[in-house]
Copies of this chain bind each other. A is one copy, B any other.
Amino acid sequence: MKVNKELLKGSTVILVLSMLDREPMYGYQMIKEIEKESSGVFMFKEGTLYPILHSLEAGGMIESYWWGNEGSRQRKYYKITEKGNSCLKEKRQEWETFSSAVDKVLNKEAFVWGQLMTQE
């Protein structure tokens, strides 16, 4: 199932940082990985990911280096920095706050029902 792409806004950075927190990866690899991990929910476009990687690097959140076996294709790997790691921690908390708040509003009706049933 695809989701409204607008839902993705604001959550791409945390997803990128979270993946690089596990292991260094290169851009194209991240696109394929996150699609697989999310069962096709997240299908990052190159025009989305690469600019994000560049801006994260400019902000000191991640670092890049070219790497590849001799004679084979070189890929640009990114790894998370200390700064990126603490940013990730903040963003995890932020996501928790946000998603809980949405759930609270979406489920208020059910919650009220629960109260009514308890009172019976």
Contact = CB atoms under 8 A, between A and B. Distances in A.
A21 interface: yes
**Number of copies of this kind of chain in the complex:** 2
A25 interface: no
Interface string A2-38: 0111111111001100110110000000000010011
Interface in A75-110: 91-95, 97-99, 101-106, 108-109
22 contacts: A1-B94, A3-B98, A4-B94, A6-B9, A6-B10, A7-B9, A7-B94, A11-B102, A14-B102, A15-B102, A18-B106, A18-B108, A19-B105, A37-B105, A38-B101, A38-B104, A39-B101, A41-B101, A42-B105, A95-B102, A95-B106, A99-B102
Interface of A: 1, 3-11, 14-15, 18-19, 21-22, 34, 37-39, 41-42, 91-95, 97-99, 101-106, 108-109
Given A41-B98, A92-B106, A99-B103, 14 more contacts: A1-B94, A1-B97, A3-B97, A6-B10, A7-B94, A7-B98, A21-B109, A22-B108, A22-B109, A34-B105, A38-B101, A38-B104, A95-B106, A99-B102
